Structure 1
Amino acid sequence: IATQYSGASPGIVPLAAAAAGTRSNNGDDDSVLEQARNVAAQSLLGLSGGLIGLAGQSNDAVFGMIIDAVKSDTGSNLLSTPSIMTLDNEQARILVGQEVPITTGEVLGAANDNPFRTIQRQDVGVELEVRPQINTAGGITLAIKQEVSAIAGPVSAQSSELVFNKRQIETRVVVENGAIVALGGLLDQNDRQTVEKVPLLGDVPGLGALFRHKSRNRDKTNLMVFIRPTIIRDAADAQRMTAPRYTYLRDRQLADGDPEAALDALVRDYLRAQPPQLPAAPSSA
């Protein structure tokens, strides 16, 4: 008796065959059964979680059973921090990503050959558009469009058309100088449960669990968008905003063991300027 579910690993058939290979009429292992045992052993090495198995041979009947229980948790924390500087009441835009060609039309010749296609390119990545307006009270009115997009894959195996995942916020808010405001967010949870079973046998109370395979997947997405506008009134404010960012990139490059930060060489050799004055390190008592 052997039960095999689609996508299950290792296969129950090689496990049962390996058990049969432990016995033979002449006392010697058959070469085919020896190979089956090796396949079963290699399959078991790739498993994770709790594993319980049973295999054997009774006269001419070969049976095998294996139970593999595993739970995996995958978490990711994606942080994008686009920043941009612009004048009062002037729109600014920054895009970190790529252009993806999308087929918008196709014309074939008289013999259904020599196709002529029209292509439209679509921006994919992290995009920020903002237009600030400073009011007399020192607050800032922001017209904001924030978008995060990515390619999800083709529509189907038979179609080359692409599906895009897109999260977009477009709004107008009033923020004080230097304050942090949450523009919006999304909490999404998607639960999927799959049951595969042998007809009739999988419905037997109690023993039916031996002929069923269950899987449950849960996808959670927590998306929050924050923004912090800062008014730059003079060169001193610009220097104050530039120095921390320059220091952060410079320290990251020096942490790789390079004798000189590539950022310093870029400013000196290509921009023909001196690097921004770095903030003094705090003195220790």
Structure 2
Amino acid sequence: EHTVEGRSADIIVSWGNDNTKTVAAAPVVTQEKASETAPAPVAAVATPVVEAKKPLKAPPVMSGPVAVEAIDFLNEEGRSVIAVTLSGPVKVSEPVEEGNLIRFELVNASISRALRRTIDASAFPSAVTSVTPYTVADGDHQNVRIAVVMKGAVAYALEKEGSTVRLVVDDGAYAEPVPAAVSQVEVVAPEATQDAPAGIVQQRSAPTFRPVTADEMAAEAARYTGEKITLVFDSANVRSILQLIGDVSDLNILASSDVGGNVTLRLIDVPWDQALDLVLETAGLGKVQEGNVLRIMPKGKLRELEQAAMKEQTIAIEEGVLETRAFLISYAGVDDMKGYLTDIKSDRGSIIADSRNKQLIVRDVADVLDQMRDMIAQIDKPERQVMIEARIVEANTNFSRNLGVKWNFDYDQNVDPTTKSLTVPNAALGLGGAVALAPTVGAGLGSTVAIAALDDQLNIDLRLQALENSGEGKIVSTPRITTLNGEKAVISQGTKIPFSTVSDSGTDVKFENAELKLEVTPEINPDGSILLDINVSNSAVGTVVPTATGDAVSIDEKKAQTKALVRDGQTTVIGGIFIEDERESATGVPFLKDIPLLGGLFRSKSKSRDRRELLIFITPRIVE
């Protein structure tokens, strides 16, 4: 039985296990059979350089043969190791070279039939092709011979430590190639691991070959949208890889005869168009797509074709037949469009602007005329529009407080014996004068208290009022307007207030606007954002003020002017305009309200505070 274990970039092949016990010696094989069992030597090559070997100490004399417990093949960074684990110390013969074959013997040793198998290492990045253990007869005992077939002349060393014999081979040119990009990648040293059980050898990580990583291509990943594929090949032909990509992409691929070479790649879940670019870049190839046909050729040849095409185009412009075409201009200015096309026309061409019919008459070669047609199609487009929706909110905060006592005397000639209340029709009498009754107090906002009654004919009501009333009001206006990109739009609604002015020529009547007005100039940016130049005003009729020519009405005006950058459909708010009015007044019975201490029973006070704020919410929407 044998096991193959991969750890990081190392590969371990093990025969046997930790618990293998010493077994009886295998039947002695004669020298002739041994020669048949051993692999045939290959053609001789130059004698390899052999490193200095450690002196092998003579093992102590043992009563019986030493058993081979395991044979391990390790492929480490740049070297291969064949490790033979025995049940005890053993004498090792000097290695013998026969062409690409290196063999050494373990004197007076035995090996089980399960371990007498060839280790095939040809698929590994190693200088070792195979390792074959077998037994040979040596007088009255047998030896275990280890035959190692190499891929070429490389340096090696035979080492012995305790009951372990190791053949260390320098892989040299046969080692796994290290890409240049690895030098730019930070390599973290692996953590130390505990000793592994016998038969399993610990290894360090080795760098793996990768042309590119996803992180290195993150900046260009956005432009690759093809179906993801996985390509893992070792020295694969470029033409074969192009055929695989053509099957996935549904493109017709035409490769020139000089497209060739091999590439080694490992691409996992990569868009096929990205994989194609990587393969072409690695192989020094370029591509030209015409419809669903992809032409692939070396970059040098591709540059030659481009230069030849440019030369042909130059000759066609200089020597081509002149044609005349008329281009209608629907939205852009004719003179502006003429300026754009002047840079495209050839030296032999001419452009005439017909402003009355909104067209350009151009005479030039066919290729230049086609370029002008495409340019006009890109520029001559209808101007986009923007719909502006504005919500204007005026928030009022009113606070009023009324506190006072008011007296009321009623006299009635017809005394009601039940209520003992006296009333005088259409008459109201007070102490020292007439006093108007306060409005009825709403539930929860105040109280009315009856104090006493003087006699059957008088009813004296004492009302102590404590009123505190607070409220908020909102005035919402929602004007909407649509305008062209870059053009000012104005919308207004209100009233014209007349007022008279006196001059030498007489009295004139003029009008002042009391209106809600919105002015907006939008500019659409290429990224979809909108720059708004906003001017909002809200005027209303104010109080009456005296003037030299008489009373006049004042105009209360609120304004907001700003610039804002918003996205299509988003809302911006403008606020912070406050107007606050505070008023205090006092009423009461003359003379009595001024009596110290008792005057409070004959007077009332009122205090009001009015706070208003103007808020403007603006939402632009692009109309295609």
Per-residue CA deviations over 1:138-165 (Å, capped at 9, x if unaligned) read 2222221101111113214983322011
The one of 473, 477, 480 aligned to 1:80: 477
Distance between the aligned counterparts of 1:83 and 1:125, measured in 2? 15
1:193-272 to 2 correspondence within 5 Å? 193-196=584-587, 202=594, 204-205=596-597, 207-233=598-624
Q: Which moved more, 1:211-220 or 1:152-161?
A: 152-161
Which runs of 5 or more residues in structure 2 are unaligned?
A: 1-402, 431-435
**How far is the alpha carbon of 1:90 from its aligned partner?**
0.8
Distance between the aligned counterparts of 1:216 and 1:138, measured in 2? 52
Residue 52 of structure 1 aligns to a residue in which SS?
Answer: coil
**How far is the alpha carbon of 1:78 from its aligned partner?**
1.0
Match of 2:25 in 1: none
**How far is the alpha carbon of 1:11 from its aligned partner?**
7.2
**How far is the alpha carbon of 1:231 from its aligned partner?**
1.4
1:132 aligns with 2:525: no
**How far is the alpha carbon of 1:63 from its aligned partner?**
6.8
Residue 449 of structure 2 aligns to a residue in which SS?
Answer: strand
Per-residue CA deviations over 1:10-69 (Å, capped at 9, x if unaligned) read 973xx324289859xxxxx99xx63267899xx7695224222446547xx997643233
Distance between the aligned counterparts of 1:66 and 1:156, measured in 2? 38
Q: Residue 137 of structure 1 aligns to which amino acid in structure 2?
A: D
Match of 1:117 in 2: 507
TM-score using structure 1 length: 0.58
Per-residue CA deviations over 1:90-117 (Å, capped at 9, x if unaligned) read 1111112222333344446xxxxxxx33
**How far is the alpha carbon of 1:175 from its aligned partner?**
1.9
Match of 1:97 in 2: 494
Asked if the contact 2:406–2:463 (Cα under 8 Å) also holds between the matched residues in 1, the reply is no
1:18-29 to 2 correspondence within 5 Å? 18=411
1:164-183 to 2 correspondence within 5 Å? 164-183=555-574
Asked if the contact 1:143–1:172 (Cα under 8 Å) also holds between the matched residues in 2, the reply is yes
Asked if the contact 2:516–2:537 (Cα under 8 Å) also holds between the matched residues in 1, the reply is yes
Distance between the aligned counterparts of 1:107 and 1:220, measured in 2? 43
Match of 1:163 in 2: 554
Q: Residue 194 of structure 1 aligns to which amino acid in structure 2?
A: S
1:66 aligns with 2:459: no
The one of 532, 539, 555 aligned to 1:142: 532
Distance between the aligned counterparts of 2:502 and 2:563, measured in 1? 36
Per-residue CA deviations over 1:72-101 (Å, capped at 9, x if unaligned) read 334321111111000011111111222233
Asked if the contact 2:412–2:425 (Cα under 8 Å) also holds between the matched residues in 1, the reply is no
Distance between the aligned counterparts of 1:196 and 1:10, measured in 2? 10
**How far is the alpha carbon of 1:200 from its aligned partner?**
8.3
Distance between the aligned counterparts of 1:210 and 1:10, measured in 2? 5
Match of 1:50 in 2: 447
Higher strand share: 2
Q: Residue 72 of structure 1 aligns to which amino acid in structure 2?
A: N
Q: Residue 127 of structure 1 aligns to which amino acid in structure 2?
A: K
Residue 34 of structure 1 aligns to a residue in which SS?
Answer: coil
Asked if the contact 1:104–1:120 (Cα under 8 Å) also holds between the matched residues in 2, the reply is yes
Q: Residue 192 of structure 1 aligns to which amino acid in structure 2?
A: R
Check 1:213–1:38 CA distance in 2 against 1; reply closer, same or farther (3 A cut): closer
Distance between the aligned counterparts of 1:201 and 1:121, measured in 2? 46
Distance between the aligned counterparts of 1:37 and 1:52, measured in 2? 23
Match of 2:424 in 1: 34
Match of 1:279 in 2: none
Residue 576 of structure 2 aligns to a residue in which SS?
Answer: strand
Q: Residue 231 of structure 1 aligns to which amino acid in structure 2?
A: I
Distance between the aligned counterparts of 1:209 and 1:39, measured in 2? 20
Match of 1:184 in 2: 575
The one of 409, 428, 445 aligned to 1:16: 409
Aligned residue pairs, count? 209
Which runs of 5 or more residues in structure 1 are unaligned?
A: 1-7, 24-28, 109-115, 234-285
Distance between the aligned counterparts of 1:214 and 1:127, measured in 2? 40
Distance between the aligned counterparts of 1:192 and 1:20, measured in 2? 43
Distance between the aligned counterparts of 1:102 and 1:133, measured in 2? 40
Residue 440 of structure 2 aligns to a residue in which SS?
Answer: coil
**How far is the alpha carbon of 1:204 from its aligned partner?**
3.7
Distance between the aligned counterparts of 2:460 and 2:584, measured in 1? 29
